[in-house]
Amino acid sequence: MREFFPGIEKVKYEGPNSRNPLAFKHYNPNQKILGKTMAEHLRFSVCFWHTFKGLGGDPFGPGTMIRPWNKSDDPMEVAEMTLRAAFEFFTKLGVGFWCFHDLDIAPEADTLAETNKRFDEMVKLAKKLQRDTGVRLLWGTSNLFSNRRFMSGAATNPSPEVFAYAASQVKRAMDATKALGGAGYVFWGGREGYETLLNTDMGRELDHLGRFLNMAVDYKKKIGFKGQFYIEPKPKEPTKHQYDFDAGSCHAFLQKYGLMDQFKLNIEANHGTLATHTFHHELVYAAANGLFGSVDANRGDLLLGWDTDQFPTDLYDTTMAMCVILQAGGFKTGGLNFDAKVRRQSIDPVDLFHAHIGGMDAFARGLKAAAKIIQGKKFEKFIKQRYSGWDRGLGQKIEKGRVGFQQLEAYTLKNGEPKIQSGRQEMLENILNEYIR
Ligand code: XUL
Ligand code: CO
């Protein structure tokens, strides 16, 4: 069997004192933390699109990366080599999961029927490679944003014909996800949004998106696909304004269209920051509303206002994320999918290993720190104390709906100015720093 990453062995855990750049210093898959192994907690996944199809192109120049799996003039041979390279990578890296868009694994042909044929062929190969390696599919999805037919959106396109084409693609991608035993299916509204309201009927477009996702739920039931559906919020890019802006707007959308019990959210760190939230905020919002599902792990750049999709390295980010994830009961169907790409100058295949090893170690450190934070209960006790007025007397009466404005006015007239307490932010930040080493 041809090797695409010759000279790279299976990445091993060597511990924090190792100086081997191709070893894990913190991710020790079998190490137990709070009753589960690190592998079970973190459920790492590699994304097919950036890692195997991305070549470093940007708006100012084409790709910089020359990959051995692209060396053929036959697009189906390229597709096959790419899939084989991907499974070699997953195995050497030691991740349990992968994710893909339909058109990542099979090139689009001139007709839907021909594309379907090519896709089925590659799904068959993916199934075999999954069986051979034990790597599983975290989620599948469909690319409804690259082809020019989707320039004005897919489900929110002004043309019902484009809506129908998008439905045909999602049907095919859902069939494949089911065939591959996928744990989930993601809807990211690639061009579901607008460039200008001068040509856009926003209300009608939102209704169409609601209809589309309800049709997907119907089809899911019809084929007996048991995986979890997710929406992945993003505020902008490629459109000026995306309808699935952030966790809050997805929440409102799901409620309006009767989809709350069918969907969870796939929170992507860099999408959160583009929406002027933090990754932490988006996770807490999702968890507080029963919508926490899965994570696209990456990071943005403080100085750049676009989706840079860098590999996660910030230990504050990974620690706070793992605190929320552990407190939400951990991943059920979801996981940490590296929707991240190496920089344009990182042109060697080995850079893909460095990037993923760094991301996995950053989350392993986040997990270890989060477990200590949760066991130490310092923040939990502080927050409990801060809200303790709600556990008794007046607070309980308000929470239970036993009082109204008149009684609250009478209470305030009688008791006078409320006592206030310090938020102790600096003290809490100092405590947090003690955990992040
Ligand atoms: C785009 C993005 C997508 C989704 C899947 O910003 O994050 O790759 O994760 O379509
Ligand atoms: Co993503």
Q: Which string of b and e fits 156-194 if b means at least 16 CB within 10 Å? A: bbeeeebbebbbebbbbbbbbbbbbebbbbbbbbbbbbb
Output the pLDDT for position 216.
99
pLDDT digits (tens, 9 = 90+) for 14-25: 999 999 999 999
Of 177, 192, 234, the residue with max ligand 1 atoms within 8 A of its CB, to mutate for a pocket test, comes to 234
pLDDT digits (tens, 9 = 90+) for 279-332: 999 999 999 999 999 999 999 999 999 999 999 999 999 999 999 999 999 999
C-alpha of residue 188 to centroid of ligand 1, in Å: 6
Domains annotated on the chain, with CATH: 32-376 (3.20.20.150), 379-435 (no CATH)
Name the phi and psi angles at 312, rounded to 5: -70, 130
More confident residue, 325 or 1: 325
167 contacts 215 by C-beta, under 8 angstroms: yes
Catalytic residue among 26, 41, 50, 104: 104
Of 232, 271, 310, 338, the residue with max ligand 1 atoms within 8 A of its CB, to mutate for a pocket test, comes to 232
Write the residue with the smallest CA distance to atom 8 of ligand 1: 339
Distance of CA 370 to the CA centre of its chain: 20
Q: Tell me, what DSSP letter sits at residue 156?
A: T
Q: At what angle do helices 315-327 and 349-376 cross, to 10 degrees?
A: 60
Of 50, 231, 296, 299, the residue with max ligand 1 atoms within 8 A of its CB, to mutate for a pocket test, comes to 296
Helix or strand run (H / E) with residue 266: strand 263-268
Output the pLDDT for position 185.
99
What is the percentage of the chain residues whose pLDDT exceeds 70?
100
Output the pLDDT for position 10.
98
Write the residue with the smallest CA distance to atom 3 of ligand 1: 188
Write the residue with the smallest CA distance to atom 10 of ligand 1: 188
Of 229, 328, 316, 257, residue with least CA distance to 288: 328
* Cα separation, 432 vs 316, whole angstroms: 9
Q: Which string of b and e fits 327-338 if b means at least 16 CB within 10 Å? A: bbebbebbbbbb
Output the pLDDT for position 153.
98
pLDDT digits (tens, 9 = 90+) for 256-277: 999 999 999 999 999 999 999 9
102 contacts 120 by C-beta, under 8 angstroms: no
Give the atom of ligand 1 at the shortest distance from the alpha carbon of 145.
10
C-alpha of residue 184 to centroid of ligand 2, in Å: 14
3-state secondary structure of 283: helix
Q: Which string of b and e fits 47-64 if b means at least 16 CB within 10 Å? A: bbbbbbbbbbeeeeeeee
42 contacts 362 by C-beta, under 8 angstroms: no
* Cα separation, 83 vs 342, whole angstroms: 19
* Cα separation, 312 vs 291, whole angstroms: 23
Tell me if residue 251 is catalytic. no
Output the pLDDT for position 151.
98
Catalytic residue among 50, 101, 251, 277: 101
Q: Which residues, judged by CB distance below 6 Å to any ligand atom, belong to the binding site of ligand 1?
A: 101, 141, 186, 188, 232, 234, 268, 296, 307, 339
C-alpha of residue 416 to centroid of ligand 1, in Å: 54
Write the residue with the smallest CA distance to atom 5 of ligand 1: 188
pLDDT digits (tens, 9 = 90+) for 42-83: 999 999 999 999 999 999 999 999 999 999 999 999 999 999
Give the atom of ligand 1 at the shortest distance from the alpha carbon of 268.
7
CB-CB neighbours of 379 under 10 Å: 15
Give the atom of ligand 1 at the shortest distance from the alpha carbon of 296.
9
C-alpha of residue 270 to centroid of ligand 2, in Å: 9
Dihedral of the alpha carbons of 186, 68, 118, 174, in degrees to the nearest 10: -10
- β-partners of residue 280 are none
pLDDT digits (tens, 9 = 90+) for 92-149: 999 999 999 999 999 999 999 999 999 999 999 999 999 999 999 999 999 999 999 9
Tell me if residue 104 is catalytic. yes
Q: Which string of b and e fits 418-432 if b means at least 16 CB within 10 Å? A: eeeeeeeeeeeeeeb
* Cα separation, 263 vs 256, whole angstroms: 13
What separation in angstroms does the CA of 298 have from each of 140, 181, 257, 268, 303? Answer: 18, 25, 30, 7, 16
C-alpha of residue 271 to centroid of ligand 1, in Å: 9
Residue type, 432: L
* Ramachandran sector of residue 229 (left: φ over 0; alpha: ψ -120 to 50; beta: rest): beta
Q: Which string of b and e fits 200-213 if b means at least 16 CB within 10 Å? A: beeeebbebbbebb
- β-partners of residue 24 are 13
C-alpha of residue 307 to centroid of ligand 2, in Å: 10
Block residue for tokens 């695409």: 4
Q: What is the pTM of this model?
A: 0.98
* Tokens, residue 68: 């051995």
3-state secondary structure of 233: coil
* Cα separation, 304 vs 199, whole angstroms: 29
Give the atom of ligand 1 at the shortest distance from the alpha carbon of 49.
8
C-alpha of residue 186 to centroid of ligand 1, in Å: 9
Q: Place 1 in a pLDDT band, splitting at 50, 70 and 90.
A: confident
C-alpha of residue 417 to centroid of ligand 2, in Å: 49
Output the pLDDT for position 397.
98
Give the atom of ligand 1 at the shortest distance from the alpha carbon of 234.
6
Of 191, 239, 339, the residue with max ligand 1 atoms within 8 A of its CB, to mutate for a pocket test, comes to 339
* Tokens, residue 113: 């029927």
Give the atom of ligand 1 at the shortest distance from the alpha carbon of 188.
10
Closest ligand relative to 307 C-alpha: 1
Task: Kindly write down the DSSP assignment for every residue of 179-211, as one continuous string.
Answer: HTT-SEEEE--TT-EES-GGG--HHHHHHHHHH
